[in-house]
Amino acid sequence: MSNTNLWYTRCPVPTAFSLAIRLGWLDQEFAADGISITSLLQSSDRNVRESHFSHTQANSFRHGGNAPPIWARSVGSDVKLIGLSWTDAPQVLLTLPGSGIKSVADLKGRRLALPRRTLDSIDFARSGTLQSYETALATAGLTLKDVELVEIVVDRGYLDDSGSTSKDGTLFNAFQNRSFQREEIAAFLQGKVDVISSNGPRAVDFQALLGAQVIYDAATNPNRLAWVNNSYPYTFTVSGKLLEEQPELVTRLLVKTLEAAEWAKSHHSDAVRIVALELGVAEEFVERSFGPNLSQQFDVNFSPENVAALRLRKEFLLKHGFLGGDFDIDQWIVTGPLEEAKRIVAAHRKQTATSKPKAQELAEAL
């Protein structure tokens, strides 16, 4: 098993996988077996880094937004889905003061910014924005045909500013994350569009910096399936060949990820600090965006709601031409490694719980 090299990548979003990476638990798990586990950022090869979207790098894991892996699977990449996760966060439409827009109903005939990233293999930003608009407009009985979608061309790749190599660093640094909607904000301030879509800490940042006002927030909808977008749900994927040939490695990685999710429940401030580091934002913005329940929402699962959300997301991407073709979600999902990982974590938890009283008895006897 020595000389095996595992690769990973993650989006700048809250995941238990990111916690496990930052805590050093993945290195600790595999080091004794001579297995290295390395971020895609360690490679200076652009093709290797592009695996964040294409999932073509051998022996690799990815946890984050769902559009890239869904797209990768649709064009034939050897990728399997081993888990889903969900973290509550604002997903908003914003306008500037004085626009006259107070609600979704006021959007009829107005100009909505729609990015088009020309250098990325899958335009996940466009897909997320388009779905945000479609979902919001439906609440007022409107459709995309009732508004003017203004294309905002982005002639730079999402990975252009990934930075220097790093063994465990993220591909998405603070500068890169802050500049993500640069072109949309320029059009917004120049009066070329009336509305932009944003989410998470970035949306909070725009409200603080620009005085932007929220017209609609999907996170206020009691029907969580109405939240479906690139971040709902997050997808946890792995190279198909690795899963087929060494499933025990996949299970071991999932065990450490699930343990990180458990750790977060009793380490809220530490989890917030790691998420802030991953996103390149202030801890206050993490708290404002994800709320007091963030540390309770890192679980990885295949809950019926998460799977239903994934189906809706794939259907949207297919309907709007983002995919290379259709595929069966049920055949993409592989539940075995996660089921085994959850069994192992539960057994560890039970063993720990039963060992504590014995330790207390011994201490009292002494």
161 pLDDT band (50/70/90 cuts)? Answer: confident
* Domain 91-227: assigned CATH number: 3.40.190.270
Per-residue confidence (pLDDT) for residue 322, from 0 to 100: 98
**HSE-CB of 242 using CA atoms within 13 angstroms:** 26
| 279-285 average pLDDT score | 95
Whether the pLDDT of residue 16 is over 60: the answer is yes
Phi, psi angles (nearest 5°) of residue 233:
-95, 165
Catalogue the E-assigned strands of the chain. 5-10, 36-39, 60-64, 79-85, 91-95, 111-117, 148-154, 196-199, 213-217, 234-239
Strands of 5-10's sheet in order across: 36-39, 5-10, 60-64, 234-239, 79-85
Convert the pLDDT of each residue in 47-106 to its tens digit.
999 999 999 999 999 999 999 999 999 999 999 999 999 999 999 999 999 999 999 999
304 pLDDT band (50/70/90 cuts)? Answer: very high
**91-227 matches 5-87+232-354 in CATH topology:** yes
Express the helix, strand and coil content of the chain in percent, nearest 5 each: 50, 15, 35
CA distance 165 to 167: 7
Give the predicted TM-score (pTM) of the model.
0.94
Per-residue confidence (pLDDT) for residue 360, from 0 to 100: 59
1 pLDDT band (50/70/90 cuts)? Answer: very low
Per-residue confidence (pLDDT) for residue 150, from 0 to 100: 98
Phi, psi angles (nearest 5°) of residue 69:
-70, -35
CA distance 262 to 265: 5
What letter does residue 117 receive in the DSSP assignment?
E
Whether the pLDDT of residue 3 is over 70: the answer is no
In this predicted structure, which of 129-143, 149-163, 319-333 has the lowest mean pLDDT?
A: 149-163
Average pLDDT, the chain: 94
Per-residue confidence (pLDDT) for residue 158, from 0 to 100: 87
358 pLDDT band (50/70/90 cuts)? Answer: low
- Between 160 and 255, residue with greater pLDDT: 255
Per-residue confidence (pLDDT) for residue 256, from 0 to 100: 98
Whether the pLDDT of residue 193 is over 90: the answer is yes
What are the residue boundaries of the structural domains of the chain, listed by start? 5-87+232-354, 91-227
**Helical segments of 216-303, H only:** 240-245, 247-265, 268-279, 283-290
CA distance 352 to 161: 44
| 304-329 average pLDDT score | 98
Return the CATH fold of 5-87+232-354: D-Maltodextrin-Binding Protein; domain 2 (3.40.190)
312 sits in which H/E element: helix 304-319
Q: What angle do CA 37, 41, 44 make, to 5 degrees?
A: 115
| 41-49 average pLDDT score | 92
CA distance 123 to 321: 11
179 pLDDT band (50/70/90 cuts)? Answer: very high
| 252-269 average pLDDT score | 98
Per-residue confidence (pLDDT) for residue 364, from 0 to 100: 57
- Between 340 and 158, residue with greater pLDDT: 340
Strands of 213-217's sheet in order across: 196-199, 91-95, 213-217
CA distance 45 to 256: 28
CB 16 within 8 A of CB 260: yes
126 sits in which H/E element: helix 124-138
Q: Which residues does 165 contact at the CB level (< 8 Å), separation at least 6? A: 41, 42, 43, 44
Q: Which bin fits 211, alpha (ψ -120 to 50), beta or left (φ > 0)?
A: left
Question: What is the percentage of the chain residues whose pLDDT exceeds 70?
Answer: 96
CA distance 9 to 278: 12
